[in-house]
């Protein structure tokens, strides 16, 4: 059939489209925490009925991006200060595990690729756009993916989505995280060293130390 390639990406179902649309909006910080998401509103926005939108809500609720209370609609979740810290703690444990398991798959080419990623990150930050956030997450996920643990990577990616709005707020306040480059260079260094146990510790510390930095800026943004 000619109508096979409907969308630009491999979107097959209306639900998938709704899911990506809403998730994108949430990541971008278009809605504020506590805002109600009205199914019909979003449905007309992307030209479908509210049914697939509702099913998309379910997926988002499972990821913790929204909260659905029976008969009382769907509201944007938002994280309290405690929950931001908690999310970073979980990230530190999972990404620490990932980097430890990734160590056997580290070679020169990988290290070079990571260096290039760092360059892209810096360039993105200089353009002033919040592309830096996307690049930063790509850098972390790149390392995690080397662990060859699909479920682990998915869980980590899901956590990144939850904290993305807060990273954006942080980025908007401070023009560019000054120490970010150095921080991530240390990560590459420890990967180069080949010490899996040390790499895990460095990654864990790197992540938990980030939390208080953006918590200061994120707190006014929460509900």
Partner DNA sequence: AACTGGATAAGTGGATACACAGATACGCTC
Partner DNA sequence: GAGCGTATCTGTGTATCCACTTATCCAGTT
Q: Which is nearer to DNA, 14 or 60 (CB)?
A: 14
Q: Which of the listed partners (a copy of itself, DNA, none) does 78 bind, with a CB threshold of 5 to 8 Å by partner kind?
A: none
Instruction: Mark the segment that binds a copy of itself (CB under 8 A) among 9-17, 30-38, 115-123, 131-139.
Output: 9-17
Residue from 20, 21, 35, 54 touching DNA (CB under 7 A): that is 54
Q: Which is nearer to DNA, 48 or 196 (CB)?
A: 48
* Gap between the Cα atoms of 196 and 175, Å rounded: 34
Residues 153-192 binding a copy of itself (CB under 8 A) are: 155
Q: Does 89 bind a copy of itself (CB under 8 A)?
A: yes
Instruction: Mark the segment that binds a copy of itself (CB under 8 A) among 27-35, 63-71, 109-117, 174-182.
Output: 63-71
At residue 155, φ and ψ (nearest 5 deg) are -65, -40
Starting at the earlier edge strand, list the strands of the sheet with 36-37: 36-37, 74-76, 66-68
Residues 93-132 binding a copy of itself (CB under 8 A) are: 93-94, 96-97, 101
- Cβ neighbourhood burial of 70 (10 Å; 0-12, 13-18, 19+): exposed
Pairing of strands 74-76, 36-37: antiparallel
Residue from 35, 55, 131, 205 touching DNA (CB under 7 A): that is 55
Q: Which of the listed partners (DNA, a copy of itself, none) does 83 bind, with a CB threshold of 5 to 8 Å by partner kind?
A: a copy of itself
Q: Does 174 bind DNA (CB under 7 A)?
A: no
Q: Which residues bind a copy of itself (CB under 8 A)?
A: 12-13, 16, 54-55, 58-59, 62-64, 70-71, 83, 86-87, 89-90, 92-94, 96-97, 101, 149-152, 155
């Amino acid at each position: 059939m000619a109508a096979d390639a409907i969308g630009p990406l491999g979107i097959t179902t209306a639900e998938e489209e709704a899911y990506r649309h809403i998730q994108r909006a949430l990541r971008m910080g278009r809605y504020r925490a506590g805002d109600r998401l009205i199914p019909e509103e979003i449905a007309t926005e992307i030209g479908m009925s509210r049914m697939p939108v509702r099913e998309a809500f379910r997926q988002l609720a499972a990821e913790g991006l929204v909260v659905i209370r029976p008969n009382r609609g769907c509201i944007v979740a938002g994280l309290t200060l405690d929950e931001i810290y908690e999310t970073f703690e979980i990230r530190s444990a999972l990404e620490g595990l990932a980097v430890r398991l990734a160590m056997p798959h580290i070679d020169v080419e990988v290290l070079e690729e990571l260096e290039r990623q760092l360059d892209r990150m810096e360039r993105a930050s200089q353009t002033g756009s919040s592309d830096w956030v996307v690049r930063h997450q790509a850098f972390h996920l790149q390392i995690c993916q080397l662990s060859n643990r699909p479920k682990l990577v998915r869980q980590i990616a899901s956590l990144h989505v939850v904290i993305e709005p807060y990273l954006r707020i942080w980025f908007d306040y401070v023009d560019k995280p000054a120490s970010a480059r150095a921080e991530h260079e240390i990560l590459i260094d420890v990967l180069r060293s080949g010490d899996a146990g040390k790499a895990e510790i460095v990654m864990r510390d790197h992540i938990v130390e980030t939390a208080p930095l953006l918590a200061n800026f994120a707190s006014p943004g929460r509900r």
